[in-house]
Chain A
Amino acid sequence: MKHIEKGAGLATAPRDFIRDLNADNLSAGVVAGIFGLSAGVIHISAGTAAGLPQEFTLLWVISYLMINGLFGLFLPAYYRLPLPIANSIPGALLFAAVIPLVGLNEALGATLIAGAIALVVGLAGWMSLVMRLIPMPIVMGMVAGVLLKFGTNMVMPLQNALLPASVMILSFFFAARYLRRVPPLVVTLLVGVGYMAFSGADFSSVTLSFKLPEFIMPTFTLEAFLAYGLPLALILVGMETPAGVGLVKGMGYKSAPANAITALGGFGTMVSAFFNLHSTCIAAPMTGICSGPEAGSHDKRWVAAVIVGIIFITAAPFYGFVFSLIEAMPSYFIAIIAGLALLRVISSAMHMTFSGKHEVGAMFSFLIAVSGIQIFGIGSSFWALVLGAGLSMLVEFRDFDFSRKSAPSREAAASAR
């Protein structure tokens, strides 16, 4: 366990939580929580597209919130870092698509193996090595590429819902400029909800229901592992964790525990396999919201991630209700909120991507991540990192740390830590 980074511990966490709670991290946590809840819509549409039964899809989303929420409560509290936990969206799309082909229990068996792989990588401490091999501009290029869609989706509503979209976006700009105390996102949320209520949004479809996650036994087949388990393991280790860790580090948390996040994601994914869920891992977009300047004072942003966990666990059994409520809001509402919430993250990611070093690798990483191509069933984020780093080694090898004399001393310092 020597590679697992030590954190501040859980003993004083509840007291510190109360102490560090403020308007900024509360609003960031709530926004990230709402963002995470809305991600359930992706699961539901993926499940429907794959022809999965309605009751399974709801069970899947409830497990997502409950299991991910529990892990999301403890990891940020233990490390006092903004590390919200959710699951892999590319993994979710892969999961939904593979169930009709290999069966649910078999898919979950592959999930279990993928989780075990991630756990071993984390425990063995290979994560830091992977992170050093793939330099920051290339990782940030991938992150910027993954997040870009949220940014462009924010602009698209101007086409169909010009008035509410421009009211919401302008309210964000003005609040960011003139209301220094109130987080601009809260203003935008209130303005948006106010507008919806004023324009007579229909809330009659909202219904209340209560449901808990259910236990299921995974089974193992080779084809399920190859079609989905191996890609999922690569996604978890090569993409979700670097994306999340890259974001947190980019926000100035240099000590982000890459090994622990990988190992815990692996363990969480293994647990997920018993509850109809495809993965547990650090959530890049929510990390962006919780670790960004919107979340206020730097050493208190961890509270936002804990709030996400609380929101997830609380909302899980009632997700049927939450889902119908989210459905009541027009889809552009969530698109705009998410885009604005991620604006500064996208900005700083792009600034770091094009800061000079690894220019070619970073550009390719960015373009590949945006293009969303899939090769061998593995999503673009993975290829962005691998091809970006590979091309960078070909074209601009001198930019790599280990191409310089100082490399051995860095290694020594890293292992001593």
Chain B
Amino acid sequence: MSLRQDASLSAVTAGFVAVLISYAGPLAIFFQAAQSAEISTQMMSSWVWAISIGAAVSGIGLSLWLKVPVITAWSAPGTALLVTLFPGLSLNEAVGAYLSAALIVFAVGVSGTFDRLIALIPPGIAAAMMAGILFQFGIGVFTSLENSPALAMGMLTAYLVFKRLFPRYFLALLLLAGIVLTVLLEGASLAGVSWQLASPEPIRPEWTLHATLSLALPLALVSLTGQFLPGMTILRGAGYDAQARPILTITGLVSLPMALFGGITTVVAAITAALCTGKAAHPDPGKRYVAGVANGVFYLLGALFSGSIVLLFTSLPVTFVALLAGLALISAITSNLSAAAAEKGHLEASVITFLATASGVSLFGLGSAFWGVTIGCAAYLILHRPWRVEKELTRQRQAAGTARH
């Protein structure tokens, strides 16, 4: 089993599309943070270099080591946090907080508590949370239908045709068809893009109590709840028996040097992970790790030419990215909703999880993925958790249920 033997076009495409979606989507928030921090484009390119290298090194290493598609990225909820903190926070303070947050993630990983936490979440609730996170992307396909009907109809048709005729390569074909359609219909221009190598700039870290409380702790918390939790859940949901301990430990360690160049915490991806862990990447789950490696390699390319790559991806029309992401994720949404609906025993708790996650509710700075799981688990404990006498009844009912199937 060598990488060369296991490599496939579908896995490489999945890895590429995952990087494309990350650069075209969540990176915009990081740009916004950079704008509120009023930094130079040079510095911005260094930041992008750092997050890309962090994701590349950890992603390639973990995927090859664990033989599991570990898709890494930077903490998207963390960048959203940054937008609100700059310019009140200095760059040096931010870097200090990045280092502290990376250490916290590392410590949580080493302790092994995260694995125990994830094992406690009932399967239907985990699947419902994933569906809730990915849901907005599915809806995006149809809202695009209103904004740019021609492109949306074209890509929707392409999706259906390719999905029907070439299910193995539909993502690669869809990507190509989408780019052709975008250039033809939307007149997307790549004229402003020039090739430039990145030049990372180190920043001296500085620790303050203010930055620790307002950035380091919340950053670690939103990264664990908003990225690692759904990311690990999706790996488990796709059937991989991956442990959180090595993944948290490695991403935490990689984050440390990257922080010095303005890279926010490296984490496990949630949304783009769904692309690389499913059938779209490869029919054989044992060969999907290639998508994780490819994802890392494309991040490496992104890091090398951080300025130009970023310019390239951000010049793509928003609708194109929304359509590509939505169509690529539809099967992931369907399989997660099916998995949630199949758990008849705690269906209502799963539906509440889905509703809360999809609602986008945000409380105390924590995102809807966390609240979805929290509310869902509370509903599970109150509504469905079998206590003593009922335990026996439920077991009988479940036995009857499995007999029927």
Chain A residues within 8 Å of B, Cβ to Cβ: 148, 151-156, 158-159, 162, 170, 173-174, 176-177, 339, 343-344, 346-348, 350-351, 353-356, 359-360, 363, 367-368, 370-371, 373-375, 380, 391, 394-395
In the complex, the answer to whether A177 meets B382 with C-beta atoms within 8 Å is: yes
Contacts of B149 in A (CB 8 A): 375
Could you say which of B146, B344, B362 has the most chain A C-beta atoms within 10 Å of its C-beta?
B146
Q: Are A154 and B355 in contact (CB under 8 A)?
A: yes
| Residue from B164, B330, B348, B360 with most neighbouring chain A CB atoms (10 Å) | B348
Interface locus among B54-62, B134-142, B172-180, B226-234: B134-142
B375 & A155 in contact (Cβ 8 Å cutoff):
yes
A152 touches B359 (CB 8 A): yes
Tell whether B363 is near chain A: CB-to-CB under 8 Å: yes
A273 and B148 CA atoms in complex are apart in Å by 37
In this complex, the interface size class of chain B, counting residues with CB under 8 Å from chain A, is 35 or more
Q: Given A173-B382, A373-B142, verify A343-B163 contact (CB < 8 Å).
A: no
Determine the chain A residues whose CB is within 8 A of the CB of B371 once the complex forms.
155, 158
CB within 8 Å for A347 and B333 given contacts A353-B341, A371-B143, A373-B143: no
Please give the residue numbers on chain B whose beta carbons come within 8 Å of chain A beta carbons, in ascending order.
135, 138-139, 141-143, 145-146, 149, 160, 163-164, 330, 333-334, 337-338, 340-342, 344, 347-348, 351-352, 354-356, 358-363, 371, 375, 378-379, 382-383
**What is the bound-complex CA distance between A359 and B336, given in angstroms?**
12
Chain B nearest CB, measured from A117 CB (Å): 27
Q: Shortest Cβ distance from B184 into chain A, in angstroms?
A: 22
| Known contacts A347-B347, A373-B146; A148/B160 CB under 8 A | no
Residues of A within 8 A of B344 (CB): 351
* Shortest Cβ distance from residue B396 to the other chain A in the assembled complex, whole angstroms: 19
Q: How far is it, in angstroms, between the C-alpha of A91 and the C-alpha of B45 when the chains are bound? A: 52
9 inter-chain pairs at a CB distance below 8 angstroms, sorted by A residue, are A155-B356, A344-B348, A346-B355, A354-B342, A371-B139, A371-B142, A375-B146, A394-B164, A395-B164
A373 to B363, CA, bound (A): 29
Q: B383 to chain A: which residues have CB within 8 Å?
A: 173, 176-177
Known A173-B382, A359-B338: A155·B143 in contact at CB below 8 Å: no
From the candidates A156, A173, A347, A356, name the one contacting B359 in the complex (CB within 8 A).
A156
Expressed in whole angstroms, the minimum distance between the Cβ of B261 and any Cβ of chain A is 36
CB distance from A299 to the nearest CB of B (A): 24
Given contacts A152-B359, A158-B371, whether A343 and B348 have CB atoms under 8 Å apart is: yes
Main secondary structure of the interface of B (DSSP, over half): helix
* Inter-subunit contact A347/B351 (CB<8 Å): yes
A367, B341: Cβ atoms closer than 8 Å: no
Q: A158 to chain B: which residues have CB within 8 Å?
A: 361, 363, 371
- Chain A CB count within 10 A is highest, among B142, B337, B352, B360, for B142
**Bound-complex Cα distance A159 to B361 (A):** 7
**How many angstroms between the C-alpha atoms of A353 and B344 in the bound complex?**
13
Contacts of B342 in A (CB 8 A): 354
Task: Name B330's contact: one of A347, A348, A353, A363 (CB within 8 Å).
Answer: A363
The distance in angstroms between the C-alpha atoms of A391 and B354, with both chains bound, is 25
Query: Are A343 and B352 touching (Cβ within 8 A)?
Result: yes
B359 and A391 within 8 A (CB) = no
Q: A360-B334, A395-B160 are in contact. List 10 more A-B contacts (CB 8 A).
A: A152-B358, A155-B375, A343-B348, A344-B348, A350-B354, A351-B341, A353-B337, A354-B334, A359-B334, A373-B142
A394 to B395, CA, bound (A): 42
B251 CB, min distance to chain A CBs, angstroms: 30
Are B145 and A152 interface neighbours, CB within 8 A?
Answer: no
CB contacts (< 8 Å) of B341 on chain A: these are 350-351, 353-355
Would you call B139 and A370 a contact (CB within 8 A)?
A: yes
Residues of B within 8 A of A348 (CB): 347
CA distance A343 to B352 in the complex (A): 8
Residue picked from B163, B352, B354, most chain A C-beta under 10 Å? B352
